[in-house]
Amino acid sequence: MTQADAHGDASVVTTLFAHNTWANLKLLDFCAQVSDAQIDATAIGGYGSIRATLAHIIGAEVSYVERVNGKRPPHPLTGDQLPGFAALKDVARWAGDELLHLALSARKDTIVREREQGLVCAYPLASLIVQEVTHATEHRTQIATIITQLGMEPPDLSTWQYMVETGEFREFAEGEDEA
Protein backbone atom coordinates (compact mmCIF):
# COMPACT_ATOMS: atom_id res chain seq x y z
CA MET A 1 0.00 0.00 0.00
CA THR A 2 1.01 3.57 -0.53
CA GLN A 3 2.57 5.40 2.39
CA ALA A 4 1.55 8.86 3.51
CA ASP A 5 3.45 11.60 1.74
CA ALA A 6 4.03 15.31 2.28
CA HIS A 7 0.45 16.00 1.12
CA GLY A 8 -1.21 13.69 3.64
CA ASP A 9 -2.40 10.15 4.08
CA ALA A 10 -3.14 8.42 0.78
CA SER A 11 -5.14 5.60 2.40
CA VAL A 12 -8.54 7.06 1.48
CA VAL A 13 -7.66 7.30 -2.21
CA THR A 14 -5.99 3.90 -2.13
CA THR A 15 -9.05 2.33 -0.51
CA LEU A 16 -11.41 4.03 -2.96
CA PHE A 17 -9.56 2.59 -5.94
CA ALA A 18 -9.02 -0.80 -4.30
CA HIS A 19 -12.79 -0.99 -3.78
CA ASN A 20 -13.47 0.06 -7.38
CA THR A 21 -11.19 -2.66 -8.75
CA TRP A 22 -12.56 -5.25 -6.29
CA ALA A 23 -16.15 -4.39 -7.33
CA ASN A 24 -15.29 -4.67 -11.04
CA LEU A 25 -13.61 -8.05 -10.52
CA LYS A 26 -16.41 -9.36 -8.29
CA LEU A 27 -19.00 -8.40 -10.89
CA LEU A 28 -16.94 -9.99 -13.68
CA ASP A 29 -16.65 -13.22 -11.63
CA PHE A 30 -20.43 -13.28 -11.15
CA CYS A 31 -21.17 -12.56 -14.81
CA ALA A 32 -18.78 -15.28 -15.96
CA GLN A 33 -21.19 -17.80 -14.39
CA VAL A 34 -24.36 -16.70 -16.20
CA SER A 35 -25.65 -17.86 -19.58
CA ASP A 36 -25.06 -16.04 -22.86
CA ALA A 37 -28.76 -15.16 -22.99
CA GLN A 38 -28.52 -13.58 -19.54
CA ILE A 39 -25.30 -11.69 -20.34
CA ASP A 40 -27.07 -10.24 -23.41
CA ALA A 41 -30.07 -9.02 -21.36
CA THR A 42 -30.83 -5.30 -21.11
CA ALA A 43 -33.00 -2.97 -19.04
CA ILE A 44 -34.68 0.28 -19.99
CA GLY A 45 -32.57 3.23 -18.88
CA GLY A 46 -29.27 1.34 -18.84
CA TYR A 47 -26.26 1.56 -21.12
CA GLY A 48 -27.10 -1.67 -22.94
CA SER A 49 -26.68 -5.37 -22.34
CA ILE A 50 -24.65 -6.70 -19.44
CA ARG A 51 -22.01 -7.72 -22.00
CA ALA A 52 -21.83 -4.24 -23.55
CA THR A 53 -21.88 -2.49 -20.17
CA LEU A 54 -19.02 -4.59 -18.78
CA ALA A 55 -16.91 -3.82 -21.84
CA HIS A 56 -17.89 -0.15 -21.54
CA ILE A 57 -16.89 0.10 -17.86
CA ILE A 58 -13.46 -1.44 -18.38
CA GLY A 59 -12.93 0.27 -21.74
CA ALA A 60 -13.68 3.65 -20.17
CA GLU A 61 -11.18 3.01 -17.39
CA VAL A 62 -8.53 2.24 -19.99
CA SER A 63 -9.47 5.39 -21.91
CA TYR A 64 -9.07 7.55 -18.78
CA VAL A 65 -5.53 6.26 -18.35
CA GLU A 66 -4.73 6.73 -22.03
CA ARG A 67 -6.05 10.32 -21.99
CA VAL A 68 -3.58 11.24 -19.25
CA ASN A 69 -0.41 9.33 -20.03
CA GLY A 70 -0.95 7.50 -23.34
CA LYS A 71 -0.56 4.07 -21.74
CA ARG A 72 -2.57 1.07 -22.91
CA PRO A 73 -2.80 -2.40 -21.39
CA PRO A 74 -0.70 -5.20 -22.87
CA HIS A 75 -3.85 -6.68 -24.46
CA PRO A 76 -6.26 -3.75 -25.05
CA LEU A 77 -9.99 -4.16 -25.61
CA THR A 78 -11.51 -3.39 -28.98
CA GLY A 79 -14.78 -1.45 -29.07
CA ASP A 80 -17.57 -2.83 -26.90
CA GLN A 81 -16.62 -6.44 -27.61
CA LEU A 82 -16.34 -8.63 -24.55
CA PRO A 83 -13.30 -10.89 -24.68
CA GLY A 84 -13.09 -13.85 -22.35
CA PHE A 85 -13.63 -13.00 -18.70
CA ALA A 86 -10.02 -13.83 -17.79
CA ALA A 87 -8.74 -11.29 -20.33
CA LEU A 88 -11.27 -8.69 -19.19
CA LYS A 89 -10.21 -9.20 -15.56
CA ASP A 90 -6.55 -8.71 -16.53
CA VAL A 91 -7.40 -5.40 -18.18
CA ALA A 92 -9.55 -4.39 -15.17
CA ARG A 93 -6.61 -5.06 -12.80
CA TRP A 94 -4.23 -3.12 -15.05
CA ALA A 95 -6.61 -0.17 -15.28
CA GLY A 96 -7.22 -0.21 -11.52
CA ASP A 97 -3.50 -0.03 -10.80
CA GLU A 98 -2.92 2.72 -13.35
CA LEU A 99 -5.89 4.77 -12.14
CA LEU A 100 -4.68 4.53 -8.55
CA HIS A 101 -1.30 5.92 -9.60
CA LEU A 102 -3.01 8.75 -11.46
CA ALA A 103 -5.28 9.52 -8.51
CA LEU A 104 -2.35 9.63 -6.12
CA SER A 105 -0.55 12.04 -8.44
CA ALA A 106 -3.56 14.32 -8.97
CA ARG A 107 -3.27 17.78 -7.48
CA LYS A 108 -5.67 20.69 -7.71
CA ASP A 109 -3.62 22.29 -10.48
CA THR A 110 -2.88 19.12 -12.53
CA ILE A 111 -4.49 19.69 -15.93
CA VAL A 112 -5.13 17.05 -18.60
CA ARG A 113 -4.86 18.29 -22.17
CA GLU A 114 -6.23 16.33 -25.10
CA ARG A 115 -5.88 17.16 -28.77
CA GLU A 116 -8.43 15.84 -31.20
CA GLN A 117 -9.47 17.03 -34.66
CA GLY A 118 -7.80 20.42 -34.25
CA LEU A 119 -9.31 21.11 -30.84
CA VAL A 120 -7.68 21.12 -27.44
CA CYS A 121 -9.66 20.11 -24.38
CA ALA A 122 -8.32 20.88 -20.93
CA TYR A 123 -9.71 19.81 -17.56
CA PRO A 124 -8.45 18.97 -14.06
CA LEU A 125 -7.07 15.48 -13.53
CA ALA A 126 -8.88 15.41 -10.17
CA SER A 127 -12.23 15.82 -11.97
CA LEU A 128 -11.38 12.97 -14.36
CA ILE A 129 -10.65 10.79 -11.33
CA VAL A 130 -14.06 11.64 -9.86
CA GLN A 131 -15.63 10.83 -13.25
CA GLU A 132 -13.95 7.42 -13.23
CA VAL A 133 -15.36 6.37 -9.87
CA THR A 134 -18.88 7.69 -10.45
CA HIS A 135 -18.99 6.26 -13.98
CA ALA A 136 -18.04 2.76 -12.89
CA THR A 137 -20.44 2.81 -9.94
CA GLU A 138 -23.34 3.99 -12.11
CA HIS A 139 -22.85 1.25 -14.67
CA ARG A 140 -22.29 -1.51 -12.10
CA THR A 141 -25.64 -0.46 -10.61
CA GLN A 142 -27.27 -0.73 -14.04
CA ILE A 143 -25.92 -4.26 -14.39
CA ALA A 144 -27.21 -5.15 -10.91
CA THR A 145 -30.66 -3.93 -12.02
CA ILE A 146 -30.59 -6.21 -15.06
CA ILE A 147 -29.47 -9.15 -12.93
CA THR A 148 -32.32 -8.49 -10.48
CA GLN A 149 -34.84 -8.27 -13.34
CA LEU A 150 -33.62 -11.68 -14.48
CA GLY A 151 -34.67 -13.03 -11.07
CA MET A 152 -31.16 -13.44 -9.71
CA GLU A 153 -29.46 -11.88 -6.70
CA PRO A 154 -26.61 -9.64 -7.88
CA PRO A 155 -23.33 -9.71 -6.00
CA ASP A 156 -23.01 -7.34 -3.05
CA LEU A 157 -20.61 -4.67 -4.26
CA SER A 158 -21.03 -2.39 -1.27
CA THR A 159 -18.12 -1.00 0.66
CA TRP A 160 -19.44 -2.88 3.71
CA GLN A 161 -19.02 -6.16 1.81
CA TYR A 162 -15.59 -5.06 0.62
CA MET A 163 -14.56 -4.44 4.24
CA VAL A 164 -15.87 -7.88 5.28
CA GLU A 165 -14.10 -9.70 2.43
CA THR A 166 -10.80 -7.87 2.93
CA GLY A 167 -10.80 -8.31 6.70
CA GLU A 168 -11.17 -4.59 7.42
CA PHE A 169 -14.51 -5.06 9.20
CA ARG A 170 -14.22 -6.69 12.59
CA GLU A 171 -16.80 -7.39 15.26
CA PHE A 172 -15.97 -7.90 18.91
CA ALA A 173 -17.77 -7.71 22.21
CA GLU A 174 -17.73 -4.40 24.04
CA GLY A 175 -14.80 -4.35 26.41
CA GLU A 176 -12.79 -6.89 24.37
CA ASP A 177 -9.51 -5.94 22.77
CA GLU A 178 -9.96 -4.86 19.15
CA ALA A 179 -6.89 -6.78 17.97
Residue 34 carries which DSSP code? S
What the chain holds in terms of domains, given with CATH numbers, is 11-163 (1.20.120.450)
Model pLDDT for residues 36-52, shown as the tens digit of each residue = 999 999 999 999 999 99
Give the span between the Cα atoms of 10 and 38, in whole angstroms: 39
Between the CA of residue 66 and those of 59, 99, 127, 130, 167, what are the distances in Å?
A: 10, 10, 15, 16, 33
Are the C-beta atoms of residues 85 and 93 closer than 8 Å to each other?
no
Give the span between the Cα atoms of 150 and 148, in whole angstroms: 5
Q: Is the dihedral of CA 67, 102, 164, 175 positive or negative?
A: negative
Model pLDDT for residues 94-148, shown as the tens digit of each residue = 999 999 999 998 888 999 998 888 999 999 999 999 999 999 999 999 999 999 9
